[in-house]
Amino acid sequence: MATLLTNIGELLTNDPGVGEGSPVGRLRDAALVVEDGRVAWVGSAARAPDADERHDLDGAAVVPGFVDSHTHLIFAGERSDEFEARMAGARYDGGGIARTVEATRAASTQELREASARRLRELRAGGVTTVEVKSGYALDTEGEARLVDLAGEITGEVTFLGAHVVPREFAGRRQDYVELVAGEMMARCASAKWTDVFCDEGAFDLDEARAVLVAARAAGHGLRLHANQIADIGAVGLAVEMDCASVDHCTHVNDEDLERLAASDTVATLLPGAEFCTRSPYPSARRFLDAGVTVALATDCNPGTSYVTSMSFVIALAVREMGMSVDEALWAATRGGAAALRREDVGRLTVGARADLAVLDAPRAAHLAYRPGANLVSCVWIGDLGVVTTSVVNS
């Protein structure tokens, strides 16, 4: 069945070949035809073809569904007390992860499933149509396998993050833990698509991270890296060396890192929710973009340092605090996220792509940054699932 969405005030396609030649591929007074979960036609509303079903969007803006390429959605408990302490001046040092590990280990599978489903509903209500989900709050073999399985109920973009931090019971035996992660634990989490490592001061060093990534590659996983959030320990260079699909955070980078990234297929995923929630200085996205680096924006939804499920909030921060134009931020939250997951079928509204899109209660997509705090997503459409949410108020 073909469905026509017409009278779209502003449509962002992320096809630079249409509209005025901008990377976001902007069309005004546009229409789009969805058939079998895919985009079948895009163009001017005046020339739209007939379809079995027709929706008049009354001048609303439509954007590709957001691709949130970095979340830690599955966890138990919360850490608002740490947030309050940081806002009163305490520094983030990565130590609080152990508290979430304790709560997650103690939670039943059903509790974890329900808590994650609530967060997924929030993400979707805000326009996220593709989400990456990491394990990393169990840090033992069976527990990580449970989180990988739960993530697999939500998405195909499942990431094994056994190398999140060294758990307490391995204090003084770091090497043993790295071997466990790279060996038995990874084998047990083989169904994941990706492996990620937190490579930073207070987490895993370069050699430890490399050992896990090498094992992950041998296991057939794609690679990702949490890098240089707390300090520049050279982790961006490692991500490029290992051809990671994405290097995430990059709060601290040097010019050489930027040159290496620009010459690589590694996307820099910036997570301004983390700087917001830890009151840290934001990295300059402008610096990355001017160096020719591909940039993605993601929520980093996690209970410690970025309990954020709103991609529009992330876009607003990127525009206000990191030097991105609105179009650059919208591209980074859609096509950029898709590139960080090495996906061609999402993050764009071009013929043949998945029909994943968000209809806004606004005439222009810029309202996502211009009206921070309001959820302007009135309807979310995900490929063959069709309309999955029609308003936050009713969902």
Binding positions for Zn ion, rule: CB under 5 A: 300
Q: How far apart are CA 42 and CA 33, in angstroms?
A: 7
Q: How far apart are CA 277 and CA 358, in angstroms?
A: 26
Residue 221 sits at φ, ψ, to 5 deg, of -85, 150
Whole-number minimum distance, CB 339 to Zn ion, in Å? 18
Whole-number minimum distance, CB 71 to Zn ion, in Å? 8
User: Residue holding tokens 């379809």?
Assistant: 51
Whole-number minimum distance, CB 297 to Zn ion, in Å? 13
Contact assessment for residue 206 and residue 199, using Cβ atoms and an 8 Å cutoff: yes
Whole-number minimum distance, CB 70 to Zn ion, in Å? 6
Report how far apart, in Å, the C-alpha atoms of 352 and of each of 52, 253, 277, 356, 373 are: 19, 37, 38, 11, 33
Residue 138 sits at φ, ψ, to 5 deg, of -120, -50
**CB closer to Zn ion out of 14 and 299:** 299
**CB closer to Zn ion out of 124 and 226:** 226
**CB closer to Zn ion out of 26 and 70:** 70
Whole-number minimum distance, CB 74 to Zn ion, in Å? 13
Position of minimal CB gap to Zn ion: 300
Q: Which residues pair with 248 in a beta bridge?
A: 226, 269
**CB closer to Zn ion out of 200 and 300:** 300
Contact assessment for residue 267 and residue 239, using Cβ atoms and an 8 Å cutoff: no
User: Residue holding tokens 């489903």?
Assistant: 117
**CB closer to Zn ion out of 269 and 334:** 269
User: Which residues in 164-175 are b (16+ Cβ under 10 Å) and which e?
Assistant: bbbbeebeeeee
Contact assessment for residue 39 and residue 381, using Cβ atoms and an 8 Å cutoff: no
**CB closer to Zn ion out of 82 and 300:** 300
Whole-number minimum distance, CB 387 to Zn ion, in Å? 30
